Amino acid sequence: MSSPNIHRLGDHQNYQASSPPAASSYFSSFRQQMSDYVRRLPLISITLPSTLFAVFLLSCFLPLIPGLDGLDLPILLGLWPRRIIQNKEIWRIFSYPWVHANLPHVLFNILALTPLIQSFERSNGTLKTLWLFLILPYTLFPAVLYLGAAYGLLPVLIDSVVVGASGWFFSMLVWQSYRVPHFSVFGFFQVSSHLYPLFLLLILSILIPSSSFWGHVAGWAVGHLHGYGALGWCIPRGYYFERIEGWSLLERQIVHSSRWVKAEVDGGLWLPVSADGTGPGVGGSASYGSAFGQSLLGNPSGPPGHAPSAFPGHGQRLGDTL
């Protein structure tokens, strides 16, 4: 009987086994996708998250400087009702979204907020996004509601310091719920778009008990006011933003930037409201958000892209008040 050929482990074999793709190829592909995603972000959508992270780094390194070892930016800039009312530290009303308690806090807010801001900025323009987040509705009004709760129904909040951009996230998420019928919960099942923010409120309060539930509720309430149209009085119409974009200095230096979304041209997602043949055509937005944004929000009922239409009537830009 002939003995079989025996090969020691590691000897060369005359066959080829299929090897799985190298992990480096996945990393390279992911890095390329993220690079493309960041490169396409509009101006506010890239500037605001970058600033949030820069302020967090500043809050980490400032105490290391001799003489500043006692400086705590979240305490200095956070929404502290007692200090605002008694010490007249009014800056806290506008500074609290920019500071965060720790690294997971700021990273979660950046990842959750960026696709929402991008979707809004692409359909409403850069100036309107700047006004909404940095100047009035989404910063001032949640702070006012929180102060009212602290000195009204919930005095326990008087010495509770609120920090972070989670209020912006809930305001924008609720506003978005008025424009899509449902959201997908991690791809497993779908819920009503109006119930989804409440679902997140409860989940966050359970998983992160230290999070500011009432601060999130204030942002949630302002989002409903915006979606319902109750904030139209403090949000200028697109016409005024278009006039500002026409200022010579702004137009020469910024408006023609590839990241700038104009109030009427690039952000021209219009809804037809009449068909008398006297109004302009319906503009088309280049895209609805992004794949990253849709994975968070669920798939909207409309298509991912909107082609220009020949509709001859008047149009109302999505986000403007009728």
CB burial string 102-124: b at 16+ within 10 A, e below: eeebbebbbebbbbbbbbbbbbb
* Residue whose tokens read 């909107």: 306
**Residue 235 burial (CB count, 10 A):** 20
Decide if 105 is catalytic. no
Residue 70 Cα distances to 53, 105, 115, 171, angstroms:
21, 22, 36, 33
Measured distance CA(231)–CA(226) in Å, rounded: 5
* Residue whose tokens read 């929402």: 116
CA 216 to chain centre: 14
Q: Report the DSSP beta bridge partners of residue 271.
A: 316
Decide if 19 is catalytic. no
Per DSSP bridges, beta strands 270-272 and 315-317 are: antiparallel
Residue of 45, 166, 177, 285 marked active site: 166
Question: Residue by residue, what is the 3-state secondary structure of 6-68?
Answer: CCCCCCCCCCCCCCCCCHHHHHHHHHHHHHHHHHHCCHHHHHHHHHHHHHHHHHHHHHHCCCC
Measured distance CA(223)–CA(142) in Å, rounded: 9
Measured distance CA(37)–CA(290) in Å, rounded: 8
**Residue 284 burial (CB count, 10 A):** 14
Residue of 100, 182, 216, 306 marked active site: 216
Contacts of 41 (CB under 8 A, 6+ apart): 114, 118, 259
Catalytic residues: 166, 216
